[in-house]
Amino acid sequence: MGREIINILLADDHTILRDGIKMLLSAEKDLNVVGEAKNGDEAIQIARKLKPDIVLMDISMPSINGLEAAKQILRFVDTKIILLSMYTDEEYVVQAIRIGVSGYLHKQSAATSLLKAVRAVKNGEAYFSSSISKTVLETARKNIHKQLDFSRFDSLTKREKQILQMISEGTSTRKIGDQLFISMPTVYKHRRNLMKKIGVFDAAGLTRFAIKNKLIAE
């Protein structure tokens, strides 16, 4: 028993590249190119008409770019989208993921990667070329750090935030106590507590944390 046929719509404004991809896909018994589009508008119209299993689409196209076309296609058609692009910038990758694309391949990816991507996506998996995966992981890492910083900052009491701000501005322990009308031992206690909560134990680190959370200006 052979593989299930996967119907594919190709969308790319470069005819030579589109023909090359079509030739590659058509050489596979389970892959069937049912339509071609040379811009975003055509891709949307043809996708709504043919309802392909997968739309393989360039990001940079005239009239409507691939990202906007993907958004509109997914709104009206039950299909999966793989984007092809020379761009590996975080901005494009994150936007593509938010839209709901299932794959993102760099245009310099090997032919075998394209074939793997099509079959993986048809099976419900996500597929990103290695250069794109690095961007995805780096973005995820940044977001995790941001969430951790926000969570740690949010765990501070109002008084601890006040003291953190004053320490970061270079205010001495005595002056902090005088201005907040609390004793020096109480200031030390708040300082120890806030340091423990945010995991920072030196003045420079406290200042960086305060700047990152906009308690003080850079």
Total domains in the chain come to: 2
130 and 204 belong to one structural domain:
no
Last residue of a domain, one of 137, 172, 188: 137
Mean pLDDT throughout 209-215? Answer: 84
Last residue of a domain, one of 137, 167, 187: 137
Please check whether residue 72 is in contact with residue 134, taking contact to mean a CB–CB distance below 8 angstroms.
Answer: no
Unique residue bearing structure tokens 């949010």: 154
Better pLDDT: 64 or 154: 64
Range of the domain at 15: 6-137
208 and 159 belong to one structural domain:
yes
Among residues 176, 164, 177, which one has the least CA distance to residue 208? Answer: 164
Most confident of 41-55, 113-127, 183-197, 204-218: 41-55
Q: Which pLDDT score, from 0 to 100, does residue 131 have? A: 64
CATH number of 26's domain:
3.40.50.2300
Better pLDDT: 151 or 194: 194
CATH number of 197's domain:
1.10.10.10
Long-range contacts of 38-45 (CB under 8 A, 24+ apart): 38/11, 38/12, 38/13, 39/11, 39/13, 39/63, 39/64, 40/11, 40/64, 40/65, 40/66, 40/68, 40/69, 41/69, 42/11, 43/9, 43/11, 43/69, 43/73, 44/69, 44/72, 44/73
Does 72 reside within a domain?
yes
Does 201 reside within a domain?
yes
pTM of the model: 0.63
pLDDT digits (tens, 9 = 90+) for 62-94: 889 999 999 999 999 999 999 998 877 777 888
DSSP 3-state percent helix, strand, coil across the chain (nearest 5):
55, 15, 30
Return d(Cα 56, Cα 86) in angstroms, integer. Answer: 14
DSSP string for 58-112: ESS-SSS-HHHHHHHHHHH---EEEEEES---HHHHHHHHHHT-SEEEETTS-HH
Better pLDDT: 146 or 165: 165
pLDDT digits (tens, 9 = 90+) for 164-206: 999 988 899 999 999 999 999 999 999 999 988 888 888 888 8
108 and 21 belong to one structural domain:
yes
DSSP string for 167-204: HHTT--HHHHHHHHT--HHHHHHHHHHHHHHHT--SHH
